[in-house]
Amino acid sequence: MIHPLLRPKKQRPCLLWRFHGFHDRALSTLPKNNTVANHQMKLMERARASATFDTYEMTCLLYGGDEIVAKRRAAFDRVEKLAGIHDTSKLPLCYAKTDREEQYVEGLRVGKAAYDDGMKHRHNFFDHMTPRFALANASPFGLVKLMFEPAIQLNGSKEQQDKWLSLSRDGRILGTYCQTELAHGTFVRGIETTATFDPDKDEFVIHSPTLGSTKFWPASLGYSTTHAIVMARLVVSQKDHGPHMFIVPVRSPDDGTPMPGIKMGDVGLKMSYNGMDNGFASFDHVRVPRTHMLMGHAKLSREGIYSGNPQQAKLSYSTMMMVRGIIIRVSALQLAQATTIATRYSAVRDQGFGPSGIASTETPILQYKSQHFRLLTQIAKSYAILFAWRGFDADYTNLRQQQNLDYSSLAYVHALSAGLKVWSSQEASAGAEDARKCCGGQGFLIISGLPDIVASVTAAATFEGENYVMWQQNARYLFKCIRLAREGKKLDPRMEYLAGQVVSSPGGTATKEDLLDPEYQLSIYRLRARNMVLAAYDALQKSERSPADAWNEHMMAIISACRAHNDYIVLESFICAVKNLSQSSQQLRGVLNDLRSLFALSTVTNPFTVDAASFLLTGAVSLEEVEMIRSLVNDLLERLLPNSIALTDAWDFSDASLCSSLGMKDGNAYETTMKWISQMPINKTTWEKNGGVHGGWKTWVDPILKAKL
């Protein structure tokens, strides 16, 4: 049944495009400045008007208040105008300029606009992400604030911070972070690049001893950076002290000339991030002063004496944890972008005669259960990821502010950063791809904006720790907690739920009211996670194989257990976030409670949920409860459907930042699509110069047609 607030009121006009005289005629048929609302625009107006809460109130909640929202909007407006991307009637240059050189130059142009605005107006809106909400390492200048300065801040001595941060913040140097090698990525301990101390000259010799030790992938390393923090093995008097960080000049700030002994360049086209010059570099006995080793946690004296505080040295993970936190937040934003585009398009795309098959007009595809189930559950996940990030960020900030050297929570926060980075990037990647599929063939177009969002967020599954390796890192912490609990030792309070033995729920006793209660929902997830983690741990302990072989044998069960644990953590964060909204309106709290329930309950019944059966197998829910949950999910979808557009509008994405012909806020999807494709070089040039006959016709097509077979 079509929701009454979204029911179309009249038949849409048929819009026919004649490709005869494509370029001029296509543009001439379009309304000027959208002065006349077409059918799609009217559908969007109706869908937006059906909201039951104040969208701006939600925007302020998502971004941290009215003042931040105002400053953020002003910053985006300035940058979009400065970069020339604010006029969305024009084909975005990122779609017009498609070869490697052009895409890099476009990245420089937009990246500089964002960098300059941050420097001039002293804000950090583009420190961690681009004006299109990709992670900042999609911009040639993004690593300066994302990793270079934080690495110095978190790992350098006071003197080093004063020197290098001043140079960077004044714009006198541009930095990047160089860790990944051609042959080593996530396995940092295996890095081969060496930094050998020369006591005679008080210098380090940075060297790439093998082809595999070539630094490979670091952002901006190709052609945009002057200095790099290079992760290399510290070697003193033939003793290897393992990987440490060194500041290495790689190009002259005066003219960009590569420093002697460094061979570097761009790694080429990628699935996304092509405005960024991800690069490679090999070092041939490059010398830097001893004082270029970051010495906040470990030191090397002029005499070559190595010293360090083992406890403080653990904080060298801080940069990695910080970046993982940023990945979590950006994953929420990119999933939100994908769902915004797909939901808007679904609200204006008519197809078929409705679920009943008897409607007098075609129906917006958002009305179909399969469509709004997919989109609303992904919308719920985007909110869930953001709230999970807030919980992590609070824990991470508290750890960094410890004044009494109490790092007892370090292991928990480190494991949390690994688990949530994996969970959020996997869910955002899968969700963005499903949002793309929700747009049918149009979602396959580059100008839909969706392919780049999907490719961009998918990259997060690899950098800052490959996801399946990070699951195992997360698992080792969980298993350590179980071991400590069974030895009667103290656990981090947030992990005490793992103490005890596998238990089962009586099942079948919950009412619908119970299943909508946040604490009851959390108890379901807690029981499932507890039983799965304990079962995986016990299976390892009972194995007669070597520890390494046992781990490999049970790896998929281990990963499933980690997923369940992080499902629990994310739901807990969602519940806590909504609980703390005492100052928000009743309407907003009601929508967020419905969204939280949809996230919690649809995960149990969604046919595409990873390990959905584990809710039953662990005794967390019964078959009877599953049937009730299915019914409740339908009820929640019915209540949330009128808010679909508002829930995505609340993210406050500008049309320029979405860069999507399908996701325009006014709903004008078809006309924008035709405007943009009419301006594509292949169409514009062919019609203007050759009357619609492409140059390849005479060379390749005509000979086939005129051949005598």
Catalytic residue IDs: 464
**Residues 118, 548: Cα–Cα separation, whole Å:** 49
**In a 3-state reduction of DSSP, which class is residue 50?**
coil
Whether 137 and 276 have beta carbons less than 8 Å apart is answered as: yes
**Helix (H) or strand (E) segment spanning residue 370:** helix 369-400
For 196, phi then psi, to 5°, come to: -95, 130
Upper half-sphere CA count for residue 643 (Cβ side, 13 Å) = 23
Whether 53 and 588 have beta carbons less than 8 Å apart is answered as: yes
Residue in the structure block whose two tokens are 């049937």: 627
CB atoms within 10 A of CB 40: 25
**Residues 414, 416: Cα–Cα separation, whole Å:** 5
CA distances from 354 to 124, 362, 365 (A): 46, 7, 8
Helices vs. strands in the chain: H and E counts, helices first? 29, 11
Residue 385 burial by Cβ neighbours in a 10 Å radius (0-12, 13-18, 19+) = buried
Q: Taking each helix axis as running N to C, give the angle between helix 586-605 and helix 518-542, from 0 to 180 degrees, rounded to the nearest 10.
A: 30
Nearest to 399 by CA among 386, 388, 412: 412
596-627 burial: b if 16+ Cβ within 10 Å, else e: bbbbbbbbbbeeebebeebbbebbbbbeebbe
Upper half-sphere CA count for residue 509 (Cβ side, 13 Å) = 7
CA distances from 394 to 5, 397, 518, 570 (A): 40, 5, 22, 14
201-215 burial: b if 16+ Cβ within 10 Å, else e: eebbbbbbeeeebbb
Residue in the structure block whose two tokens are 């299109």: 132
**Residues 219, 146: Cα–Cα separation, whole Å:** 11
Check the annotation: does 130 bind a ligand. Answer: no
Binding-site residue ranges:
180
Q: Which residue ranges are tagged as binding site for FAD?
A: 180
